[in-house]
Amino acid sequence: MREQFEGRMLRIHFGEDDRWQDKPLHEAIVHKCRELEIAEAIVFRGIEGYGSGSRIRRKGHWTFSKDAPIQMSIVDTDEQIGRLLPLLEAMIGEGMVATSRVDVIRYRSSDSKG
């Protein structure tokens, strides 16, 4: 089955050590997306980077910092993303959220659920 629509993509940048309600922030956001039935949410762990605090974040055996950069990509309709954004406002203490309009083509089998 093929579905096509205009949507919005969020890219969220923060650190691996960031937490919300005693959970890793990326897990909390993925669970919230699932709860809201957001079409797609993926978490990427970076090798090195910096963000709003200008602190270098890296993951590796030879560094003192274990706070790897995390990027999340979340895609759905404007309406669905609009429901998520106010919740992210409360969840993200330090980081960056970038939004962009996207053309979405979603493929799934007729027996899949979500």
Q: What is the CATH number of the domain that holds 34?
A: 3.30.70.120
Q: Can you tell me the mean pLDDT for 51-79?
A: 74
Residue 17 parent element (H or E): none
Contacts of residue 81, defined as CB under 8 A and 6 or more positions apart, other chains included, come to 7, 8, 10, 38, 74, 99
Q: How open is the CA angle 86-74-38, to the nearest 5 degrees?
A: 75
More confident residue, 22 or 113: 22
- Identify whether 45 is part of a domain: yes
Which residue would you say has higher pLDDT here, 7 or 68? Answer: 7
Q: What is the pLDDT of residue 112?
A: 62
* Number of domain units in the chain: 1
Confidence tier at 109 by pLDDT (50, 70, 90): confident
59: pLDDT strictly greater than 80: no
Average pLDDT over residues 100-104: 97
The residue range of the domain holding 45 is 2-107
3-state secondary structure of 92: coil
pLDDT at 64: 52
In the block, tokens 């978490």 appear at: 43
- The reported pTM is 0.83
Q: Give the side-chain half-sphere CA count within 13 A for 109.
A: 2
Residue 55 counted as domain residue: yes
> Would you say 6 and 106 are in contact if contact means Cβ atoms under 8 Å apart?
no
Is the CB of residue 42 less than 8 Å from the CB of residue 11?
Answer: no
Residue 114 lies inside a defined structural domain of this protein: no
